[in-house]
Amino acid sequence: MSLLERIAEADERGLAASALACLERCLPPAAADGGGGESEPLRPLWASCADGRAWTDRLDAARAAMADVDETGSPVPEMLGSAPADWSADPLREWARTCSLLSLDFHRRFDMSVGGDAAEDPAGQLERWSSGDVGGAGPLVAGELRRQTEILEALAEASEPAAAGASGLRGALERSTEGRRVLRAVISRRARGRS
C-alpha cells in the first residue's frame, strides 16, 4: 500500500500524528530546546493526538510558542499554519497530506542525486514517490517515505485507541526524533563541506 493510500485510510489519530511527526522531523535546531533533542513546544500537541481533546487550544499554544521560528527554507511555519482547528477526518487528512509532501520536499533538498529525470517537475516527483513509484528517490527521501509509512502502519494496527494510543504515539515520536537526527547530521555535513 502506498503512502497516499495509507493517508486515505487513516483515522483522525493517525492523520494528526502523521502530520505532527513530519513537522517534528523538519524542526530547525533552534525550535527544539528540551535537552535530549525533544521538541518541548510540540509536546502538548502530541498528547492531544490520542483523542483530540483540547486540540484547538494546544494547537494555538504550539503556534504561539514557535512564532519566532524563522529559518530560511524551513517548512515548519507552513505546516503549523495549515493545521486545522477542527478535530475531524477531512481537514486532518488534508493537513497530513500537506505535511507529508512538505517533509518529502525538505528532505529532497538535502538528498544525494540518484539520477532521476532532471526535467520532472518537483511537485510531480513528490506525488509519484507518495504513490509508490520511488524511482529517482535518494536515500534521505527513501528513508522519509519509509518513516511516514511505518508511523501510519503502526497507528493503524492499534485497534484500541484508549489502550494502545499512547504507545503508538510514543513510537511515532521516537521514529520522528531519530529521523530528525539523521536529517540534521546530513545538513551539518553539507554546511561543513561548504565552509
The cell for 16 is 494528526
| CB atoms near residue 72 (< 10 Å) | 5
Backbone φ and ψ for 180, nearest 5 degrees, come out as: -65, -40
Query: Would you write out the chain's pLDDT as a tens digit for each of its 195 residues?
Result: 999 999 999 999 999 999 999 999 998 765 554 444 445 778 889 989 988 989 999 999 999 888 877 666 788 888 999 999 999 999 999 999 999 999 999 999 988 765 555 567 888 899 999 999 998 899 999 999 999 999 999 888 875 544 445 568 888 888 888 998 999 888 888 777 766
Amino acid at residue number 3: L
Cβ atoms of 83 and 61 closer than 8 Å: no
Q: Which domain holds residue 101?
A: 3-194
C-alpha distance from residue 96 to each of 157, 168, 181, 188 (Å): 18, 17, 22, 27
Supply the pLDDT for residue 165: 52
User: pLDDT tens digits for 13-62?
Assistant: 999 999 999 999 998 765 554 444 445 778 889 989 988 989 999 999 99
Nearest alpha-carbon partner for 105 in 84, 127, 81, 80: 127
The number of folded domains in the chain is: 1
Supply the pLDDT for residue 87: 95
Supply the pLDDT for residue 117: 56
Nearest alpha-carbon partner for 27 in 40, 45, 10: 40
